[in-house]
Structure 1
Amino acid sequence: MRPVRIDDQGEWWMAHGRPHPALRPFLDAYHGYWEKRPAPNRKRTLPSRRTVMIINMGPPLDMEMPGAAPRRFSSCFAGMYDGHGSYQSTAAQRGIQLDLAPLGAYTLLGTPMSELANLAVPLPDLLGGAAAELPDRLAAAPGWPARFDLLDRFLLGRLEVGPSPAPEVARAWELLTAARGRVPVTDLVAEVGWSRRHLTQRFKEQVGLPPKVTARVLRFERAVELMTAGPPDLAGTAHACGYFDQAHLNREVRALAGCTPTELLATMGHRPIAGH
């Protein structure tokens, strides 16, 4: 485990592990973390292409999903969402985070992603008693490599019994993510050979959000990446991400992040944008 930050705001340590090759199409890495702060920490959460599984080996988290009241969780899963939320941790945290592609979560959880969109759900509610025991088993393991090996075994067992995504949904997801959301739904329909209604229903079932809303999230995700990659250029970002103009980008940031671009960048440690 290596230190990410140690300052007057506390300490943050992380350990990373590569999943088993069979899991890598759905999951890039395991992220173990240990955090110690002098006071609770609150952080804004933003829509993205990933779903999140938290296996908590420390105190619970207070999470707020779009349009919902805050709720306290230990280990949990959050599906794709198209609004802003937040989480607040206590002064000490320890656990493992898994950032899962939605189609991987569909297989590993065996649950329609449409039932988990814009929601956070306790992990035992989805995976039963084995998930309830998992945090204690991970905490007792002799080090992070052993914890990641244990997670491999747990998830591979889920992979063997979970449903497979429809090839047509997988293809539509591939096209949308490759283009960062800049693909009309009519093009997806033409590519996979389904009706628009059928594609929307199946895509929502297995990804969580409909194709059009997913495209919106992907464009927003790309815009945040560009705005935070260097000196902010809102007009250039709007053009690169397929927005009509800078005003359109501003409205999307307000809708999906709950604040202006200037406020969003300030919370992410970037300098203010003059005139906004």
Structure 2
Amino acid sequence: MDRPEYVSGRPHRALAGLVLDYGGYVEVSPHPIRRRQAPTGALTLIVSFGPPLRLHGPAGPSVPGSFLAGMHDAAVVTEYVGLQRGVQVNLTPLGGYVLLGVAMDALTNRSTSLDELSVPALAALPEQLADAPDWPARFARVDTVLVRLLACARRLPDPEVRWAWQQLRRTGGAAGVAELAAGTGWSRRHLLTRFRTQVGLTPKTAARVLRFERAARLLVPVLADGGPGAGTARSISDVAAGCGYADHAHLTREFRALAGVTPSTYVAEWRAAVPIRSSQDDEAALPSQP
């Protein structure tokens, strides 16, 4: 395989709290490449100006080209052969709610093509990025589209949902539903309904995904440029204890449920391949409620 190309970009400051990062990528392989994309606390927007990926996920197999992957509670396997070229945009779930103007639970466990999102500015991005001369120009074009969507946004998340989501992020999924409901002053049922609409998962499932994401990152340290292997890897038992799992077996069950493989297999897969991007934990404050 030719040497891959990965380029990082920072979103416009107006998008803080909504968009985590940008990543440009070019990969070429004469042989099929498969990657396991385990659930994370982010939405993934793929703007492709190369051949489409083949996806195998909870919604079944698909070949969507450019797409938005909503919040998931199960793994998606991507597959390609030949050329891959595009920009990946990692959004917070509340960022997706604001910028897309749709209920996030309608996108849960789905990879929806840009044409299906009914956002013409996004659907036009693949052709525009393909014509751009370089990565900075492509990132600038993505900035322009997303900032315009923000300016036209008709809704913001409830302050209570925003607080609950931030508590879950801050604690790595350790905050309980009763604690979150008490903090918002809402009933558990009302919190569940509003949270699921604006985040895509229920608070309990979101907590489970965030705790898993933390454990996965501790097992597979990530280099600053997006490659695996930096830092000191921890044992499965140490990660289980540090992330609040009962024991090694409990963490293994969660990996089977959410990633579809054991922790050892997950680590081995990541060490054998270079990931396209890894979303960041840094989420600045969302725009204030009007």
Common fold: TM-score over 0.5: yes
CA 1:127–1:152 in 2, change beyond 3 Å: closer, same or farther?
A: farther
Of 232, 240, 243, the residue aligned with 1:241 is: 243
Identity across the alignment (%)? 44
Task: Say whether 1:266 aligns with 2:268.
Answer: yes
Asked whether the equivalents of residues 41 and 90 of structure 1 are also in contact (C-alpha less than 8 Å), the reply is yes
Aligned to 1:105: 96
Give the residue type in structure 2 aligned to 1:37.
S
Shift in Å at residue 156 of structure 1? 0.9
Asked whether the equivalents of residues 52 and 100 of structure 1 are also in contact (C-alpha less than 8 Å), the reply is yes
Aligned to 2:47: 55
Aligned to 2:224: none
Aligned to 1:5: none
RMSD between aligned residues: 1.3
Shift in Å at residue 90 of structure 1? 2.7
CA distance in 2, matches of 1:216, 1:32: 30
Give the residue type in structure 2 aligned to 1:59.
P
Task: Say whether 1:120 aligns with 2:111.
Answer: yes
Equivalent residue runs for 1:32-51 within 5 Å = 32-51=24-43
Secondary structure of the residue that 1:39 maps to in structure 2? strand
CA distance in 1, matches of 2:123, 2:146: 14
CA distance in 2, matches of 1:110, 1:39: 39
For structure 2, which runs of at least 5 residues remain unmatched after alignment?
Answer: 222-231, 273-290
Aligned to 2:166: 174
For structure 1, which runs of at least 5 residues remain unmatched after alignment?
Answer: 1-8, 271-276
Aligned to 2:253: 251
Shift in Å at residue 228 of structure 1? 2.0
Asked whether the equivalents of residues 122 and 145 of structure 2 are also in contact (C-alpha less than 8 Å), the reply is no
The range that moved more, 139-148 or 93-102, is 139-148
Give the residue type in structure 2 aligned to 1:241.
C
Task: Say whether 1:69 aligns with 2:64.
Answer: no
Task: Say whether 1:193 aligns with 2:195.
Answer: no
Task: Say whether 1:221 aligns with 2:213.
Answer: yes
Asked whether the equivalents of residues 58 and 93 of structure 1 are also in contact (C-alpha less than 8 Å), the reply is yes
CA distance in 2, matches of 1:195, 1:28: 31
Give the residue type in structure 2 aligned to 1:194.
W
Asked whether the equivalents of residues 29 and 98 of structure 1 are also in contact (C-alpha less than 8 Å), the reply is yes
Asked whether the equivalents of residues 10 and 38 of structure 1 are also in contact (C-alpha less than 8 Å), the reply is no
Of 76, 79, 82, the residue aligned with 1:88 is: 79
Aligned to 2:276: none
Give the residue type in structure 2 aligned to 1:259.
V
CA distance in 1, matches of 2:40, 2:143: 24
CA distance in 2, matches of 1:247, 1:172: 29
Deviations along 1:113-135, whole A, 9 cap, x unmatched?
A: 01001111011211443333221
Greater RCO, 1 or 2 (C-alpha within 8 Å, sep 6+): 2
TM-score by length of 2: 0.87
CA distance in 1, matches of 2:207, 2:119: 33
Asked whether the equivalents of residues 4 and 25 of structure 2 are also in contact (C-alpha less than 8 Å), the reply is yes
Shift in Å at residue 139 of structure 1? 1.2
CA distance in 1, matches of 2:122, 2:96: 15
